[in-house]
Structures are given as structure tokens and as C-alpha cells.
Structure 1
Amino acid sequence: MISKTGIQWTGGTYNPWYGCKKISEGCKFCYMYRDRDEGGVDPSLVIKSKKETFERPLKMETQTLIFTCSWSDFFNPEADEWRPEVWEIIKNTPHEYQILTKRPERVLQCLPDDWGAGYENVWLGVSVENQARLNRIDILKSIPAKTKFASFEPLIGEINISPAQIKVLDWAIIGGESGNLEGPYGFRECKLSWIEILVEDLEEYNIPIFVKQLGTHIAIEYDLKDIKKGGNIKEFPPHLQIREFPNGLRYVDNQIYL
């Protein structure tokens, strides 16, 4: 099986490699760094998964929505030698693969020769944590892909996205930062208004939106029961209880239906 996950917007995770280098503000309290540190493993060391894990999608018969490289970056330069084999796995399996990157400038040089207008089963996304990183959407615009999305998580600043940038997207994820209440892996402020502004702008252009979590800061501010993540949709303000998907997918009772 693909690894089970608490990430609400996917059916499971697949990690053909682990480890990554921090490259922008959103990386500061990276959950992969936290978990690898706690496990006594250097999180900056990029290592290939064992054969069983690397080839896991080939053994799955049921079509699944898969977040690919949840503990790394699919376009990490240190994984260049392994990526062609993963493209072959992706191409030859029935699953839907969600690939999210903070390195969109590397995507074009890392695509397979037969990519064309994009593999039908690949969703290509960029992380946008603040206004300074909106340029990642501009880069995404120039990359052919069947489904394009942005993850505004961890949202650590107000974002004013332009209509031209919104029109690049087929889907948007929004979430405040979660982290520990003490220790080196904390969390930063996310204001409810930052989420509301993004939702309002995206809704104007009918972009499917998935509000994943409000984050630890808002959870504390509003005394939510899910203090760690603020991820219980029943605790969201009604106008932010939005969990939509592109491509006709549905989300009902915490289950994703392809």
C-alpha cells in the first residue's frame, strides 16, 4: 500500500527518496526536518528509498490519488539520477500523482521526453508561502501540465494574487502553519483574514479550493480543540468550510472519490 497520511487532500503518499535542502521561507519549520531530526537522521541528506518503497505504485491495483515526494522535492537536483525511473512508474500506473515543488525553475529540464502537453495523470503544483514566492506561479504558467495547482501552505503572509496568476491554476490548497508549542520546530502567525482574502480572490474565478487547516496560531487564538493544526473543518468559520477538488473528484466524510 501507499503510505497512509493525515494530509486531507490526498489518498496517500509515495516517497521514492527522502531528504531535502531548505531553499525559502516556507522551509523554516519543515515537518520532514522535524521528523527526521527526531529519528536521528540528517534531513538534508537526500537518499533513495528501498526497492520495495520505490516501486510500490506498480503493485497497487486500485487507482489512488498520490502525493509524490511528501518528504522531499520531486525536482531536487540530488535526485536527478533516480527521477527517470519514477517517470516510467508514473506513466505505467493508473494512479493520479500530485507533484508539489518549491523548485519550478528546474521542472522543464527534468521532464521526460514524451511529456508533451503533460501526462494525464500528473498534477503539477508549486508552493507559495508569501507574496515574495508568487513568482512560482508565473513559472508554472510556462510549463505544460494537464492539471496545475498551488499550495498556499504554510501561509505566513498576506498574498495578493493577480487575475493572471489565478487563471494559471486548476486548484488551490490553503493552510496556516502547524508546529510544536515548544522546541525548535514551532509555527508562525497566520491571520484568518489572509485565508479569507485568498478564498475570495480564487472564488471570483471559480477555482476549486481546499482549505486544509487554519494552523496552530489561529487554533490557539480561537481556542480550537485541534490546537496542533486547526485542521478540523467543523471548527472552521462556515465561509471557510471549503474542500473542493479539480477534475470531478469529490471529498465526502474525509474520503476522496476518484
Structure 2
Amino acid sequence: MGGKTEISWTDFTWNPLRGCSRVSAGCANCYAATIAARFSYKGAPYQGLAFRSSHGAEWTGIVSLVESALDLPLDWRKPRRIFVNSMSDLFHERVTDDWIDTIFAVMWACGRHTFQVLTKRPERMRDYCDKLLRHDDRAGFFVDALERHGLGAHVADPISHSQDEPLPNVHLGVSVEDQMTADARIPLLLQTPAAVRFVSYEPALGPVAFGTINGRTSRVHDSGRMDVLRGLAVYPTTHPEYPEQGYPIQPLDWLIIGGESGPHARPCDLAWIRSAVAQCRAAGVPVFVKQDSGPRAGQQGRIPDDLWIKECPP
């Protein structure tokens, strides 16, 4: 359900949800599916959510709420960084709005912690956070969500924030594995109201040019390209003398880089890591190099010391 973790860029995990489904090539060797399938026998936590097949671990596509895990961060008194749903995706299509409301309410009620939410479904995240930001009485909304799940008495340390700003202790991110998924997901992340936006480039399965992300640069402009580390968008115009127009955007606040781990790890080219680190250095964006590809999670492997960087946002 949660606790101390070996994931090096966070302190603890919190898993109020169980279950998921694959959406892209980065999910092929999902560690969460492997763990879930191991504990999918009758009476085990992931019964009905995952299974073993001739091709390996598989999700069933069913997602469940773990009611008994909802209050865990409320009981953790020492401030910590908490990775939310390392065994699921908060914005999975099977997750109800009520569940998301309650999880956000718990994060609001725990102002001492920093919560890190990572998704491969950024469109729903953007739409949900847009709606949340426009809510007239967010505090009342969160209290109602907590009370629906018997947690109303726990509101003792809510985060202090302006009504027209996103929760400052909730950091939102997307996972990408190559240029195609970066182009598809990062523009949606940048359209999402968030105090901190980050990208997990893991497993790195191909090079990514973060200075030329192609996609919808805003809800107004249908196409264009972005330097998401420096914070600049360029979109085409119909003006014959000025075919492109540039404007500032919010840059990414953090980049995590990692090769794939596990017995079937696909190789990561060190040139991809070096390029991504150089791009972050040039833009002044913190970068966290998590691991080389290989059988063991967290290994430095072939990564030279000058790339073995462990930076976090302030």
C-alpha cells in the first residue's frame, strides 16, 4: 500500500489505487505488472487485477481503490516526498472522479508533504486539474471528498495556497520513452495547472530533443514546436513575411532520466542520456539520472561519473 521505497528520486510511495493497463512501448516490461502478477493468486492484493500469461505479466485492465491506504500520508508526521500510485495511474480511464477527488483531498490535507504524480494519460490530468482550479470553494470541495470516505476528522494540516493557484505541494509529471511519446504527452503537461511540472524519461528507448517538441503549443494554437526546457513556443502564422511567431511558455521544472531495468531490459544508448543532460545543463533545468539499462534497478552501470547526476527541484 505504501512505504519506504528504493525509487531513488522519491522518499516513499503511496498506493491508494491498484491495477492498470499498457498504453505504449514503455509499458512493455512494466515492473508494476510483474509485481502485481506475483501477488495475483486467490486472496492476494492483486487478485483479478493482474495475471501471468505465456508472454509474461499482464494487467486485466481493472483498477480498484484501496480504502485502507487513503489515510496513510495523514499519519506520516515527518515531511517527505511521496510518489503517488507507483502501482497504477491516477488518471487511468477506470479511475472514478470520486477517487481522484479523494486522493487530491488527502494531498491538500497533508501540507507538510510533497506529492509526485506521474501519468501516461496527460489529457485527463489536464482536464481534471483545469476543472479543479476553477472550483469556487476548493477547501470545501476537499473536505466533502474526505468526509465521503470517513476521513473528515483528519484535516489538521491543509496546505496554504491561493484559490487561483494549483496546490503547491503537488508536482505533476508525465512518462515518456522516445520522441513520439514526448511530442504527444509533454504539450498536454504544459497545458496543465501545476506548481511543478516534471518528465520521467524512462525507460529511455530512443533519443528526445526537448528543444523541438512538436505538438499543440496551447489550447489556441493547433500545432507548432516547443523548447520545453527553455520555455519557448513557436507556431506557424499565415503572414507572408513572418511565417512563425514565438512566445514564452512555462518550462519544465525537472527531468528524470533512466534506462530500463529487469531481466528483459531493452538497451539504452548512453548518447541519449548525455544529450538529455546537456540540454538540461544549457537550460538550467535540474536533472536526475536514475539508472543505466540492465538487470538491476538503480545501477550506475556504464554511466560515467560526469553523467551520474542526482538533482531535484528546490
TM-score over 0.5 for the pair:
yes
Give the aligned partner of residue 85 of structure 2: 69
Give the root-mean-square deviation of aligned CA atoms: 1.8
Report the Cα distance in structure 2 between the residues aligned to 1:72 and 1:232, rounded to whole angstroms. Answer: 24
Report the Cα distance in structure 2 between the residues aligned to 1:68 and 1:101, rounded to whole angstroms. Answer: 10
Give the aligned partner of residue 257 of structure 2: 174
5+ residue gaps, structure 2, are 41-46, 51-58, 139-162, 212-225, 232-250
Report the Cα distance in structure 2 between the residues aligned to 1:171 and 1:55, rounded to whole angstroms. Answer: 28
Give the aligned partner of residue 46 of structure 1: 63
Q: Does 1:22 align with 2:105?
A: no
3-state SS, counterpart of residue 74 of structure 1? coil
Question: Highest relative contact order (Cα 8 Å, sep 6+), 1 or 2?
Answer: 1
1:139-218 equivalent positions in 2, closer than 5 A: 139-162=188-211, 164-166=227-229, 167=231, 168-180=251-263, 186-216=264-294
1:214-235 CA deviation, whole Å, 9 max, x = no partner?
A: 111xxxxxxxxxx523x24497
Shift of 1:141: 1.2
Report the Cα distance in structure 2 between the residues aligned to 1:235 and 1:141, rounded to whole angstroms. Answer: 32
3-state SS, counterpart of residue 289 of structure 2? strand
Give the aligned partner of residue 256 of structure 1: none
1:46-91 CA deviation, whole Å, 9 max, x = no partner?
A: 111142x121111111111000011111111212231111111110
Give the aligned partner of residue 244 of structure 1: 311
5+ residue gaps, structure 1, are 181-185, 217-226, 248-258
Report the Cα distance in structure 1 between the residues aligned to 2:37 and 2:123, rounded to whole angstroms. Answer: 28
Match 2:127 to one of 102, 109, 121:
109
Report the Cα distance in structure 2 between the residues aligned to 1:29 and 1:2, rounded to whole angstroms. Answer: 22
Report the Cα distance in structure 2 between the residues aligned to 1:29 and 1:232, rounded to whole angstroms. Answer: 17
Shift of 1:108: 2.8
The 1:77/1:12 distance shift into structure 2, 3 A limit, reads same
For the pair shown, which has the larger CA radius of gyration, 1 or 2? 2
Report the Cα distance in structure 1 between the residues aligned to 2:81 and 2:300, rounded to whole angstroms. Answer: 21
For residue 193 of structure 1, what is the amino acid of its counterpart?
Answer: A
Asked whether the 8 Å contact 1:2–1:57 carries over to 2, the reply is: no
Asked whether the 8 Å contact 1:116–1:144 carries over to 2, the reply is: no
Give the aligned partner of residue 13 of structure 1: 13
Give the aligned partner of residue 137 of structure 1: 186
1:178-236 CA deviation, whole Å, 9 max, x = no partner?
A: 112xxxxx2212111111111111110011000000111xxxxxxxxxx523x244973
Identity %: 35
TM-score, normalised with respect to structure 2:
0.70
Report the Cα distance in structure 2 between the residues aligned to 1:54 and 1:92, rounded to whole angstroms. Answer: 12
Residues 98-107 or 235-244, more deviating: 235-244
- The number of equivalent residue pairs is 230
Asked whether the 8 Å contact 1:234–1:241 carries over to 2, the reply is: no
1:97-154 CA deviation, whole Å, 9 max, x = no partner?
A: 0001111111133233347431010111011111101121111111111101000000
Shift of 1:244: 0.3
